[in-house]
Structure 1
Amino acid sequence: MTLTYLPWHRPSSYDERPCVRDERTELDYRAFGARVEAAAEHLAARGVGRGSVVAVMLPNQVELLVAIMAAWRLGAAATPVNPTFTAAESGHQISDAGAVLVIDADNVAELPTTPAGTLPPAETAPGDLALLVYTSGSTGRPKGVMLDHANLAAMIASMREGIQAGPDDHCLLVLPLFHVNAICVSFLTPISVGAQLTVLQRFHPVDFLGAIERYRPTYFSAVPTIYSHLVALPAEVTADVSSVRFAICGAAPAPPELFAAAEERFGFPLVEGYGLSEGTCASTCNPVDGVRKPGTVGPALPGQVVAIMAPDGTLLGAGERGEVVVKGDNVMRGYLRRPEATAEALGDGWLHTGDVGILDDDGYLRIVDRIKDMIIRGGENIYPKEIENVLHGGAGVLEAAVVGAPDPLYGEVPAAFVSARPGAEIDVDALLARCREELTKIKVPVAVHVLDVLPKNPVGKIDKPALRARVAGA
């Protein structure tokens, strides 16, 4: 297995090709490799070696990528930490990961840029631990997902073939780099083929369109919230986005109407994918060139198997509803020091996603909902995503989320939260009427709460635990 995303394995023909840039720095492949070597020397002098863990707690910038690669150069692993975390949140991750060093805003300037040539040759092996990515913690304390270099190489090969990435591609990286999506799809995949990436520190709709016009990327990966903000921009806000050959949407469910609106406004195809950190990022994706089925997250990516499993462990056929399970070399090694959680997720040889889905006759996956998000109303199973899709079609609705509210008679009932598009107002009575028209009575929300903004977790997903706490408190 060749780990082609590592600077010390790159072909010499890449040396002068553009590699990575942010608002302050621009490096070709030779210069990026030199930065990594110099940073690795710096880390080695501070006790980092094979088997160590380095915590990297930085906003999106070139130095973050250099620091991760420098850890790998020494046979160490990296754990990317959300730079907006509180001391308690970051302290838990750094301690749980056993990090021997933290690279943050206070010491990143100490990283040298010119190597002295003091390190022995790199000996990075596929089985070496590469990343400790911490789950969002929506079901408890965050757990460290152990991903080795074999996992990363498998994911990159899968994604590279799936999106047909080549040396002429240019990715605009906008998602936070403490998340595996940004690391794998926007960073490692392009540099594995000699392509380039431009790193944005944050997202702002108008500035993002300006960055596309300025840097001329060929693709980018984002979450539904970003596309919602882009399509909500006033019609007079325009930009030349003709360089973009496709964009990826993932990390959270998105209604088909959002895809149609984005494609109509910007002209490039928007492909929806699906995956988990435990699967190193993505397991399915609608094809860039091929049949894209709205409402699905596409077929399995190359090198992976996606199936639907019944509660008794049998695999189900097309059209049957059950838990989505995944197999492939991209599936994690396990959770750090969590043998019970690892056995629960991987014990039968499949990665159990906790998502409910259906495969059609062509192998395209439709996500019905999270098993844990399912609302049980008087013994009847209700999937919030079905209700959310109806709400998204309502006039003026930007975002929608449905959670179970406590009920003394039925146990729980659906309650909805929505936010409005800029300049729009939401007619709650009209929304409820739409729900009554399109949903059976038990699925109609008992209330629709209008918020200025729906709460989000650190990776941009709607924070349903916070919404559940809100309705429980009410």
Structure 2
Amino acid sequence: MTVTELDYLPWRWPPAYDERPSVRDDRHDLTYAQLAGWVDATAAQLALYGVGHGSVVAIMLPNRIELLVAMLGAWRLGAAATPINPAFTVNEADYQITDADATVVVNDGPDAPNGGRPAIAVDDLWRSRPDPDVLPVAITSPDDLALLIYTSGSTGRPKGVMLSHANLSAMATMMASHLQITRDDHCLLVLPLFHVNAICISFLTPMSVGGRLTVLRRFRPLEFLAAVEEHRPTYFSAVPTIYSHLVSQPAEVITDTSSVRFAICGAAPASKQLLTATEQRLGIGLIEGYGLTEATCASTANPLDGPRKVGTVGVALPGQRVAIMAPDGTFQPTGERGEVVIQGANVMRGYLNRPEASADALGDGWLHTGDVGILDDDGYLRIVDRIKDMIIRGGENIYPKEIETVLHGHPAVLEAAVVGGPHTVYGEVPVAYVTPYPGTTLDVDELYARCRAQLTKIKVPVAIIVVDAIPKNPVGKTDKPALRQALQQP
């Protein structure tokens, strides 16, 4: 398979796939032929709303097959999809819909955010075409924009990561090769489908080789373990927080995991203790990997059969180059730390309408990750620090600037600084420090209410601490390391 074959697209599936099971959730259980038919019907419906080559379809749904159908329907017309976190507030959702210039929104119904655009309620999606003979010819090409996945940045406003079909095909090919995914594999999807991990690793990879997928609506430990026993998956991908919940179950909770060949751990650093405890508790091999949305999800992973070095995130996936770069642009030798940089067909096209940010990330021909790492003699990568001012809460990236912008909107807030505080389950959670304008009094309850109204629940600070002054470093910038250090103290 080459990275331009786009074998995950329904209209490219061979007839031999027709009766094979493809995807199911708690409402539907579809063969490949049934899924392809539903995609064609939805594409015909989207075309009536003006969706065509170069359009964008926004999809704001929880995990369910219809999210995948709407995405594939957009691709059937040469359009892109931008999946939206269904927990977003109206403010957050409308921003993404508007920034992406979505032609139409597929959502839960009339009360869901739509950014002022036409909307299709999920229960109104067509399952069959009124006129079976009328459907635009599929013109999807590798260079077409496929996904706009939004990720926050230092400016506080999320940026749309532009991923082409060539990017997606490259990622599906790399993962299928590295993890030896075949038509006999069955993935259990538990991560949210507004993330590229769930789309690429759990859905596109098995679909590209004739495998199957079971979609769970949400993660609940006992429900997840029951699903493993019932559906007999061969692999799944999750974040450290999920594994932490699983190993914390009472000893009497015993699950038959014999069908699982391996599980993937990514999106946030995991301790050696957690990785070891998970393998012992569940009796499965855990493969830790590393990547980011801008690289279409994954860039390194520990081998399936070769040595798995606990504490590393493995070796570069087939077709990718991973290097360590010094601040002056030269490459660091083995064992020396520097910024992790990546090359490969999986690297994004850039950020939507953000030429300066795109140039910063890609200008020298390498994707600059903002993460600090070390490569060992065998090519295994160890992540040792983060350049970016990011909080990772249970695998979800939270950028302090976005929260700080909301806090600064309160008329009594002079300064605001948000850092990650330690948490036994989620790893990090946002904690805010604020100072009032002289002569004013800050009402912390008002600040919490403001955050809850404008931010997703996971971004709302777990604590808002009013201080007389926020510490500064010698050049006058907020000393966030000092704030983090203070939170580490008992």
Query: What interval of TM-score do these two structures reach, taking the shorter chain for normalisation?
Result: 0.7 to 0.9
The within-5 A match list for 1:233-312 is 233-312=249-328
Task: Please give the alpha-carbon distance, in whole angstroms, between the structure 2 residues aligned to 1:120 and 1:175.
Answer: 33
Q: In structure 1, what is the equivalent of residue 36 of structure 2?
A: 33
Name 2:48's counterpart in structure 1: 45
Cα deviation per residue 1:305-359 (whole Å; 9 max; x = unaligned)? 0000000000111100000000001000000000000000000000000000000
Indicate yes or no: 2:13 matched with 1:10. yes
Letter matched to residue 242 of structure 1? S
Matched, 1:334 2:350: yes
CA contact (8 A) 2:58 2:84 kept: yes
Mapped contact 2:77–2:136 kept (Cα < 8 A): no
Q: Does 1:196 align with 2:201?
A: no
Asked if structure 2 preserves the Cα contact closer than 8 Å seen for 1:58 and 1:83, the reply is yes
Structure 2 stretches lacking a partner, 5+ long:
110-120, 393-397, 401-416, 427-451, 471-482, 484-490
* Alignment of structure 1 residues 30-429 onto 2, 5 Å: 30-106=33-109, 107-115=121-129, 116-137=132-153, 140-373=156-389, 417-419=422-424
CA contact (8 A) 1:53 1:79 kept: yes
Q: How far apart are the structure 1 equivalents of 2:14 and 2:456?
A: 34
What letter matches 2:278 in structure 1?
Answer: A
User: Structure 1's 471 and 341: CA in aligned 2 closer, same or farther, altered over 3 A?
Assistant: farther
CA drift at 1:136: 4.0
AA of the residue aligned to 1:215: H
Alignment check: 8 A CA contact 1:136 1:459 kept: no
CA distance in 2, matches of 1:139, 1:46: 33
- Residue 120 of structure 1 deviates from its aligned partner by 3.2
Structure 1 residues 94 and 205: CA distance shift in structure 2, 3 A: same
Separation in 2, partners of 1:334, 1:469: 35
Conserved? CA contact 1:179–1:459, under 8 Å: no
Cα displacement (A) at 1:138? 6.8
CA distance in 1, matches of 2:137, 2:389: 49
Residues 23 and 319 of structure 1: is their aligned pair in 2 closer, same or farther, counting only changes over 3 Å?
same
- Displacement of 1:469 in angstroms is 6.4
Cα pair distance change 1:46/1:339, threshold 3 Å: same
Aligned equivalents of 2:210 and 2:182: distance in 1? Answer: 7
Tell me the distance in 1 between the aligned counterparts of 2:146 and 2:463. Answer: 35
CA offsets 1:179-217 (integer angstroms, 9 cap, x no match): 000000000000000000000000000110000000000
Q: Does structure 2 conserve the Cα–Cα contact (< 8 Å) formed by 1:297 and 1:367?
A: yes
1:67-96 per-position Cα deviation (integer Å, ceiling 9, x unaligned): 000000000000000111000000000000
Counterparts in 2 of 1:351 and 1:420: CA distance versus 1, 3 Å: closer
Aligned residues: 404
Measured in 2, the distance between the counterparts of 1:276 and 1:203 equals 22
Distance 1:3 1:223 in 2: 27
Name the TM-score, length of structure 2 as normaliser: 0.78
Q: Do the aligned partners of 2:245 and 2:425 also contact (CA within 8 Å) in 1?
A: no
Partner of 1:397: none
User: Which consecutive unaligned segments of at least 5 residues does structure 1 have?
Assistant: 375-383, 386-400, 404-411, 422-454
Counterpart code for 1:19: S
Distance 1:30 1:126 in 2: 23
Match of 1:452 in 2: none
Q: Does the aligned pair in 2 maintain the 1:284–1:299 contact within 8 Å?
A: yes
Name the amino acid aligned to 2:18. Answer: D
AA of the residue aligned to 2:173: A
Secondary structure in structure 2 of the residue aligned to 1:372: coil
Q: Could you tell me how far apart the structure 2 residues matched to 1:124 and 1:470 are?
A: 51
Once residues 196 and 162 of structure 2 are traced to their aligned partners in structure 1, the CA distance between those partners, rounded to angstroms, is 12
Cα RMSD (Å): 2.6
Contact 2:89 2:456 in 1 (8 A): no
1:140-177 alpha-carbon deviations (Å, 9 max, x no partner): 11000000101111111111111110000000000000
1: CA distance between counterparts of 2:424 and 2:42?
45
The residue identity in structure 2 corresponding to 1:228 is: S
Whether the 8 Å CA contact 2:19–2:31 is kept in 1: the answer is: yes
Q: What percent of counterpart residues are identical?
A: 64
> Which shifted more, 103-112 or 189-198?
103-112
SS in 2 for 1:362: coil
Cα distance per residue 1:36-94 (max 9 Å; x no partner) = 00000000011111110000000000000000000000000000001110000000000
What CA deviation, in whole Å up to 9, does each residue of 1:419-447 have, x standing for no partner? 379xxxxxxxxxxxxxxxxxxxxxxxxxx
Cα contact 2:326–2:339 (8 A) shared by 1: yes
Residues in 2 aligned to 1:468 and 1:319: alpha-carbon distance in whole angstroms:
39
CA drift of 1:259 comes to: 0.6
The one-letter code of the counterpart of 1:34 is G
2:26 to 19, 23, 26: 23
TM-score under structure 1 length normalisation = 0.81
CA pair 466-136 structure 1, distance change in 2 beyond 3 A = farther
Other-structure match for 1:408 = none
Contact persistence 1:176–1:459 (CA under 8 A): no
Deviations 1:289-318 (A, max 9, x none): 111000000000000000000000001111
Give the letter aligned to residue 255 of structure 1.
S
Mapped partners of 2:242, 2:420: distance in 1: 24
In 2, distance between residues paired with 1:278 and 1:183?
Answer: 14
Report the residue type matching 1:5 in the other structure: Y
Instruction: Tell me, in whole angstroms, the C-alpha distance in 1 between the residues paired with 2:461 and 2:350.
Output: 28
- Contact 2:28-2:65 within 8 A present in 1 as well: yes
